[in-house]
Chain A
Amino acid sequence: MAETAPTNILEMRGITKTFPGVKALQDVNLSVTRGEIHAICGENGAGKSTLMKVLSGVYPHGTYEGDIVLDGENAEFGSINDSEARGVVIIHQELALVPYLSIAENIFLGNERRRAGGAIDWNRTNQEAAQLLERVGLKEDPTVPVSVLGVGKQQLIEIAKAISKDVRLLILDEPTAALNDNDSEHLLDLLRQFQGQGITSIMISHKLAEIAEIADRTTIIRDGRSIETIEMNGPGAPEGNLQDRIIRGMVGRDLEHRYPERESHPGEEVLRVEDWTVYHPTQQGRVIVDRANLNVRAGEVVGIAGLMGAGRTELAMSLFGRSYGRDISGKAYVHGKEIDPKTVPDAIRSGIAYVSEDRKQYGLNLIEDIRRNISAASLDRLAKNGWVNEHEELKVAGEYRESMNIRTPSVLVEVNKLSGGNQQKVVLSKWLNTKPEVLILDEPTRGIDVGAKYEIYTIINKLVADGKAVLVISSELPELLGICDRIYTLAFGRITGEVDVASATQEGLMALMTQENQS
């Protein structure tokens, strides 16, 4: 551990990064050997992207603790420009290309090829772009706008942009998440080629098969800590299946939160979904949810486990009044009666409530008070002839404040003054007041502290005790195991398994969640 081999291009030592109220990274160590392909694995929210942002200077030196040593020299990056000057280039998960500029313009954006005097040298720009495109194996005219290209080719342009900056350490954040098999294969080949040219790569990925295929070593991050680094081939590699080994590292944590006890008495079926298929709203022909079947019974908590991009939120939102996607097909039933909610008001009337993933963006009107946020989805219920009964509204808000234990001096306080946990209780109140049959909770405990989590679990238990059906989407497997009766696993848009919680393990679920197409 202690030896600092000169063969290491990068050493990150004791990196700790704190956001208000949360320790995103704690004492993380990472060492990357020159010329290797190094994979980073971990659950959603484990801290992988944060670590890469620290490395690339997105979070400048001074906002984190610990040292970054690049080529044996201390590196203190104040911005992305500093890290790029040292040959460290990051390609983010969301591609950062300007759609209406040409390929060449995108490649040299911010790094333009100029003549003396400052004007852009178009001949040189296009010629160098053509050479770079050849290096990444893309046969396109550098003058066409990138918007006409597919995601796979856009990804290659990002890489061309990176190598135009004399990259020595290339960081890719889930580069193949949006790519099909062919494009992924091409990208992995390219990384191997670069390896031959002496470029070191760090790759974050959820696709374990791909990691097993390409990576020389894999570092596992869990709950903001670096757990271990696994040799993927050669004499140091562990016995047995490499993917299983990685999964064990990713989930192997103790149950640090306690879950309130609940007796389960599932009743009759409340929600049933058959052959539910959803296409991407803008990318023609890209299937996001593929023939999903599921059901939820009264008094039952059912979980949906899936990694980022598996289609969990998309499944829920497409059910909720077609708020996501296009060409939606399949059937949905509430209490055995077929429903066809084409709009959100239809869905609410059919008895579905969807508590969204990002409460600040999709759940709350932050500049409005608690009372009016609680009434926002049920104004019809509180109004007569178009006029809101404000006394009733205030009374209802007060009742939820009591029953949900929303900690606030008054329900007239703006919700942006509340803590995350209390905000989440406001969102839950808002949806409970629509008197739903089924509640879909998307990441109900994201970004709230342990105590508030416990309270949310208690509320969920109360709901099912009252005979509601609850569908929970969560990235935290222990949470699903702690509160659910049954869990569906979702991988790449398909439901890959249905597991009774009594027989489920984190390893088993993770294996199902990473299972790739075999249809």
Chain B
Amino acid sequence: MTGIANLKELLTRNLRQSGIYIAFVAIVVLFTALTGGTLLGPTNVTNLVLQYSYILILAIGMVIIIIGGHIDLSVGSVVALTGAVAAVVVIREGLPWWVGVLAAVGTGLLVGAWQGFWVAYVGIPAFIVTLAGMLLFRGLTLQVLNNISLSPFPSEYSQIASGFLNGLLGGYGYDTFTLVIFAIGILGFAYNSWRNRRARIAYNQPVEAGPLFVLKLVVIAAVVMWFAWQLATSRGLPLVLIILGVLVMAYTLVTKHSVFGRHVYAIGGNLAAAQLSGVRVKRVNFWMFVNMGFLSAIAGIVFSARSSAAQPAAGNALELDAIAACFIGGAAVTGGIGTVTGAMVGGLIMAVMSNGMSLMGIDQSVQQIVKGIVLLLAVAFDVWNKKRAAAAR
């Protein structure tokens, strides 16, 4: 097989996956050009991470829900509720910041268990349960806050969203620690890819040609180190990015390698077959929603810490951004297909578009129109791709 044919085969075979990476790069390039480079400036890259982190955190939970064949419309309200609970505990009652964090997480788990119960054990479609939840938890937020916002959080709490690790290892105008962390990450990624490649070769699976493999790693390493450099020369490593990084890695492992993750894909792929294969469908559905509640709580903490306040209207319409991120990232509306990485890239596409358009001073109304069209096109692509695959059979 020649290198070119190899590359082409690789691209077409993984069009669904590689398509969004290509789209992501194109959008970054486009907006970098349109904003005269501001988009990729050190301050803006840092801002981008801080601004969209909670949507990405929500998208991790949401993609699991969507792979399982459900949907969750309530996460915006749950973000508000968990933030409100934390604010009441920390600001009104004056308890330490970590008690607030625990209270928020506890609330999120309870919310998840509530919704999971109705979806899994009563058998009400998730669309209805979470639509009810959207109203219910928004109402509870208003009750908890007595209809007014609570602020400000003590600085320890706000640090969660706005804190940076900087100067731990020193540096000259840049943060060495950030660079080291990213370098370790790249080495880990490279080692893992190499191991996978060897395993595939050992099992006679097709792999890309050696030079192509190395080239791919080098390009990824260069892009990531460039990103690290931007952070390091700005304010250092944001705490939020560490939280996000840990979550993404943990959930990538869970979805790909755990029995739970497999069962989620099996349920979304063919519910009847999963049931007849001994998957405890109810239990898995229940825990999917508990997990979504947990991640909503984390997002709620980050959100409230970022604005250093709990507001009655916090997190409005966040669920739509999270859902859009998953679908743009290649998740299938019918369930069974999707990845955490895909959802992250989908979320970043939305983030770069919003951020880029804001930098250009484009009106909010136009931004909404553009985002709506992008979502539509992404899913249309998915449908088209499926038909194409069916025709090729």
Chain A residue contacts of B265, Cβ below 8 A: 365, 368, 372
Chain A min CB distance to B256 (Å):
9
B262 within 8 A of A: yes
Q: Which of A345, A362, A388, A394 contacts B259, CB < 8 Å? A: A388
Q: Give A390 to B259 CA distance when docked, in angstroms.
A: 11
Tell me the A277-329 residues at the B interface (CB within 8 Å).
320-321, 323
A103 within 8 A of B: no
Q: Are A343 and B270 in contact (CB under 8 A)?
A: no
Chain A min CB distance to B109 (Å):
19
Q: Give A300 to B59 CA distance when docked, in angstroms.
A: 53
Name A347's closest neighbour in chain B (CB-CB): B278
Q: Which of A343, A367, A376, A394 contacts B280, CB < 8 Å? A: A343
Q: Are A344 and B205 in contact (CB under 8 A)?
A: no
Chain A residue contacts of B260, Cβ below 8 A: 386
Tell me the B239-273 residues at the A interface (CB within 8 Å).
257-260, 262-263, 265-266, 269-270, 272-273
Chain B residue contacts of A321, Cβ below 8 A: 278
Chain A residue contacts of B280, Cβ below 8 A: 343, 345
Chain B residue contacts of A366, Cβ below 8 A: 269-270
Q: Are B259 and A344 in contact (CB under 8 A)?
A: no
Q: Are B199 and A376 in contact (CB under 8 A)?
A: no
Q: Are B258 and A388 in contact (CB under 8 A)?
A: yes
A348 within 8 A of B: yes
Q: Are A365 and B205 in contact (CB under 8 A)?
A: no
Which of A36-44, A197-205, A409-417, A503-511 is near enough to bind chain B? A409-417
B28 within 8 A of A: no
A176 within 8 A of B: no
Chain B residue contacts of A383, Cβ below 8 A: 258-259
Name A346's closest neighbour in chain B (CB-CB): B278
Q: Which of B203, B272, B274, B332 contacts A376, CB < 8 Å? A: B274
B25 within 8 A of A: no
Tell me the B158-182 residues at the A interface (CB within 8 Å).
none
Q: Which of B199, B263, B276 contacts A320, CB < 8 Å? A: B276
Chain B min CB distance to A313 (Å):
12
Q: Are A362 and B269 in contact (CB under 8 A)?
A: no
Name A389's closest neighbour in chain B (CB-CB): B257
Q: Are B257 and A388 in contact (CB under 8 A)?
A: yes
B78 within 8 A of A: no
Q: Which of B206, B258, B270, B279 contacts A410, CB < 8 Å? A: B206
Q: Give A231 to B56 CA distance when docked, in angstroms.
A: 74
Chain B min CB distance to A225 (Å):
30
Q: Are A376 and B266 in contact (CB under 8 A)?
A: yes
Chain A min CB distance to B75 (Å):
25
Q: Interface 1/0s, chain B 332-375, versus A by CB < 8 A?
A: 10001100000000000000000000000000000000000000
Name A355's closest neighbour in chain B (CB-CB): B276
Tell me the A379-416 residues at the B interface (CB within 8 Å).
379-380, 383, 386-388, 390-391, 394, 398, 410-412, 416
Chain A residue contacts of B270, Cβ below 8 A: 361-362, 364-366
Task: Please count how many residues in chain A sit with their CB below 8 Å of the partner chain's CB atoms.
Answer: 39
Chain B residue contacts of A35, Cβ below 8 A: none
Q: Interface 1/0s, chain A 407-447, versus B by CB < 8 A?
A: 00011100011000000000000100010000000000000
**Residue among B199, B205, B262, B278 with most chain A CB within 10 A:** B278
Q: Are B206 and A362 in contact (CB under 8 A)?
A: no
Q: Give A434 to B276 CA distance when docked, in angstroms.
A: 13
Q: Which of A354, A375, A394 contacts B276, CB < 8 Å? A: A354
A356 within 8 A of B: yes
Q: Interface 1/0s, chain B 188-209, versus A by CB < 8 A?
A: 0000000000010001111000
Q: Are B336 and A362 in contact (CB under 8 A)?
A: no
Q: Which of B203, B258, B269 contacts A368, CB < 8 Å? A: B269
Chain A residue contacts of B47, Cβ below 8 A: none
Q: Which of A377, A391, A411, A417 contacts B278, CB < 8 Å? A: A377
A224 within 8 A of B: no
Name B393's closest neighbour in chain A (CB-CB): A417
Q: A365-B266, A367-B337 are in contact. Are A379 and B275 (CB under 8 A)?
A: no
Q: Give A372 to B257 CA distance when docked, in angstroms.
A: 11
Chain B residue contacts of A343, Cβ below 8 A: 278, 280
Q: Are A394 and B262 in contact (CB under 8 A)?
A: no
B277 within 8 A of A: yes
Chain A residue contacts of B277, Cβ below 8 A: 344, 376-377, 430
Q: Give A362 to B270 CA distance when docked, in angstroms.
A: 8
A363 within 8 A of B: yes
Q: Are A362 and B273 in contact (CB under 8 A)?
A: yes
Chain B min CB distance to A314 (Å):
14
Q: A386-B258, A398-B203 are in contact. Are A365 and B275 (CB under 8 A)?
A: no
Name A364's closest neighbour in chain B (CB-CB): B273
Name B260's closest neighbour in chain A (CB-CB): A386
Q: Are B275 and A345 in contact (CB under 8 A)?
A: no
Chain A residue contacts of B199, Cβ below 8 A: 391, 394
Q: Give A391 to B275 CA distance when docked, in angstroms.
A: 25
Chain B min CB distance to A21 (Å):
12
Q: Are B262 and A387 in contact (CB under 8 A)?
A: no
Chain A residue contacts of B337, Cβ below 8 A: 367
Q: Give A410 to B203 CA distance when docked, in angstroms.
A: 9
Chain A residue contacts of B274, Cβ below 8 A: 365, 376
Q: A367-B337, A410-B206, A416-B393 are in contact. Are A344 and B258 (CB under 8 A)?
A: no
Q: Give A323 to B258 CA distance when docked, in angstroms.
A: 26
Q: Are A345 and B273 in contact (CB under 8 A)?
A: no
Chain A min CB distance to B261 (Å):
8
Name B204's closest neighbour in chain A (CB-CB): A410
Chain B residue contacts of A411, Cβ below 8 A: 203
Q: Give A271 to B253 CA distance when docked, in angstroms.
A: 41
Chain B min CB distance to A23 (Å):
21
Q: Are B276 and A362 in contact (CB under 8 A)?
A: yes
Chain B residue contacts of A364, Cβ below 8 A: 270, 273
Q: Give A482 to B18 CA distance when docked, in angstroms.
A: 51
Q: Give A357 to B182 CA distance when docked, in angstroms.
A: 52
Chain B min CB distance to A131 (Å):
41
Q: A348-B278, A410-B205 are in contact. Are A387 and B272 (CB under 8 A)?
A: no
Name B337's closest neighbour in chain A (CB-CB): A367
Q: Give A376 to B274 CA distance when docked, in angstroms.
A: 8
Chain B min CB distance to A58 (Å):
22
Chain A residue contacts of B336, Cβ below 8 A: 365, 367-368
Chain B residue contacts of A398, Cβ below 8 A: 203
Q: Give A297 to B257 CA distance when docked, in angstroms.
A: 39
Q: Are A363 and B258 in contact (CB under 8 A)?
A: no
Name B386's closest neighbour in chain A (CB-CB): A367
Q: Are B272 and A380 in contact (CB under 8 A)?
A: no
Q: Are A388 and B206 in contact (CB under 8 A)?
A: no
The 8 closest A-B CB pairs, nearest first, are: A365-B269, A377-B277, A345-B278, A344-B278, A365-B270, A376-B277, A383-B259, A348-B278
List 21 interface pairs A-B (beta carbons < 8 Å), by A numbering. A321-B278, A323-B276, A344-B277, A345-B280, A356-B276, A361-B270, A362-B273, A364-B273, A365-B270, A365-B274, A367-B269, A375-B262, A376-B266, A376-B279, A377-B278, A379-B259, A386-B259, A387-B258, A388-B257, A412-B205, A434-B278
Residues of B that sit less than 8 Å from A by CB: 199, 203-206, 257-260, 262-263, 265-266, 269-270, 272-280, 332, 336-337, 393
Other than the given A368-B269, A376-B279, A388-B262, 11 more pairs (CB < 8 A) read A344-B276, A345-B280, A361-B272, A363-B273, A376-B266, A376-B274, A387-B258, A387-B259, A410-B206, A411-B203, A416-B393
